[in-house]
Each structure stands twice: as C-alpha cells, then as structure tokens.
Amino acid sequence: MPQLPNGAATPMSVVDVLRAVAGLPPKARASFCWGQYVRGTYAPSDQAKEITRSRSFTMPSRVLARLSADGVSPNAVDTDGRALRGFSFRLGSGNHRSELLTQSAPVHFARTLDQMLAFLQARMPGPDGKPDMARLEAFSAANPETLRQASYLAANPPPASLACTTYWGVHAFPATNAKGETRFIKFKVAPVGEERRSAEDAAKFTGLLRDLESRIAARDVRFSVMALLDRPGDPVMDVTIRWPDEDGREAVRLGTIVITGTESNEARDASVFNPANLAEGIGHPPDEIFAARRDAYAISQTRRR
C-alpha cells in the first residue's frame, strides 16, 4: 500500500494520491490518463473582441488539443457516460498563447486543495482493493459539495462520442476587452451540430478512439468556444457550484475550433497543457484549485519523464 501524505495538502501530495487511488504506474498521467492528441484550426468570431483583447481568442491560429477520458482505455465502450472526459487545447502562438482545460462536467469535485486531498484519501482502496465505505460515507456526509460532479454526470451522461460532448471550464476567468473593461467569464466548448447523433450507436461499438478517428476523417469534428457572461453576485471562488441559471444565461461565441487530424501521442506527450499559460486579456481565476494546478501539472509532467 502506498504511504499517504500527512498534514496540509500540496500539489505534490495531491498528484501522489491521485496516482495511488487509481493504481497508476509511475509514468502514467495522474488524471485523464487516456487521451488522443489532435490538431486543427481556430477562427475567431466578430464578437470575440467585445469580451477579450487576448490575441489567442481574437486572431486565427493553429490548434493543438488533447481529447481524453478518465479511467477508460482507448477502445473502451463508455456506454453509461460516467467517465469524466477532458478537452485541453492551445490557441495562439509565442507570447500570445493560451492553454485551456475543460471537462464534461461544469463543476470540480473539491473547493480547496485540502478538501481535494481528503476526498481522494477517503477513496483509497484497502487490502481488499475496495475503499472503506464507512469512511467514505462519513466524508461525503460532511462534504456534500464533493458529490456534485458525480451527481451531474449521473443525471447528464454525455453522448457516446468525444466529438459530441460539451465541455466546461469550471473556473471564472477575468476577461479584459480592448476598452479596458473587465468581467468574469466561464468557458463552454460546445460541439457544432450537437443534435446530430448519426454515429453515436456506432461509437458504442467501436470505442472512443476509433469513433473519434472516423469523425475526423469525415471532417465532422467542430466546436464552438463560448464565453458565459457573469452577473453581479456570481460566485467566483467556489468551483463546486455553478452560476445561477448558468445554462440559460447569455453566452458569446468567441470562435470555432475545427479538428483536422490526429497527432502522435508519443511525440506530443512531452507537451503539457498548463492552465497558467494565458495570453494578456484573460487573467488567472482567483480560486484555490486553479492556483494549485500550475504546480500540479508541472510535477506530473516531470514524473512522466
């Protein structure tokens, strides 16, 4: 059994426990362990400049991205949709590069780093390979907000295809436009033509990777990058809760990502999508989880090497 860290949580201790809970080998990713790198293009909308002056979002660019799933293999059949999915992407270039991490649920499973560590420790398997259910139930009862992500996925299972999934950035980002006006936004990445399910049944039989490859070959993978606009009083420090009426509020389309091909995972795995890399015009969210991610991603990348 791995030795669990004691004391206050650190990014390193969270990475260690993520690996231990999942039983991952030393060089595996701590989360979203299976994924496929892809390439494409980004075209901004006319409205993007109203929200941000960041050239990552207001200028056309190439895209490097990674579509991923937590806890499933490349050819897995994710029929119940319970596995959390991820869509990380890089827009822009040079000093105007931004990297975003989005996922298939609009909330994170912990509000603070200490709570995240405790959440994972409560799920640590014992000698029988199973967690202590009494300990887990006691933690969940004392921390009900940590169940919101799983509850969302249970109530809103994503479609069978990674290309038809909607992804959210759970953090509130301060965005500044050319007039110097700043407001908080949340990112939502929605598939273009989400209502189309023609290949969903096929995806259930071919697996996530083969379905993705067939859709890319058919030039059928497009996403709208949306900005959800804040309202007075919206919470910006707690990533376990959504903004009120988040699904129904105003959203601005910043641009469109078109996926045009796959990239070698082996060649690209030295890359890391670090959420701290944001071009001027998009600021760092103020919540504690975002602050910890910068170090956590660097630690995880170093361990993989």
Q: How far apart are CA 288 and CA 51, in angstroms?
A: 24
Range of the domain at 180: 11-304
pLDDT for 141 equals: 97
Query: Is 190 a member of any domain?
Result: yes
10-residue stretch averages of pLDDT, the chain, 305 residues long: 55 82 70 87 98 98 93 56 87 93 96 93 90 95 97 89 94 97 98 60 65 90 97 96 93 97 78 86 96 78 62
Query: Is 6 a member of any domain?
Result: no
Query: Is 1 a member of any domain?
Result: no
> Per the structure, how many domains does the chain have?
1
pLDDT for 30 equals: 66
pLDDT for 255 equals: 98
Query: Is 294 a member of any domain?
Result: yes
pLDDT for 202 equals: 47
Cα distances from 81 to residues 46, 78, 152, 192, in angstroms, run 35, 6, 11, 20
pTM of the model: 0.89
The CATH number covering residue 279 comes to 2.40.180.10
Query: Is 3 a member of any domain?
Result: no
What is the Rg, in whole angstroms, of the alpha carbon atoms belonging to the chain?
19
Query: Is 32 a member of any domain?
Result: yes
pLDDT for 195 equals: 46
Query: Is 5 a member of any domain?
Result: no
- DSSP string across the chain: -PPPP-SS--HHHHHHHHHHHHT--TTS-SSS-EEEEEEEEEEE-TTHHHH---HHHHS-EEEEEEEEESS--TT----S--S-EEEEEEES-GGG-EEEEEESSSS-S-SSHHHHHHHHHHT-B-TTSSB-HHHHHHHHHH-GGGGHHHHHHHHSPPPS-GGG--EE--S-EEEE-TTS-EEEEEEEEEETTTT--TTHHHHHHH-HHHHHHHHHHTT--EEEEEEEEP-TT---S-TTSPPTTTTTS-EEEEEEEEEEEE--HHHHTT----TT---TTBPPP-SHHHHHHHHHHHHHHHHH-
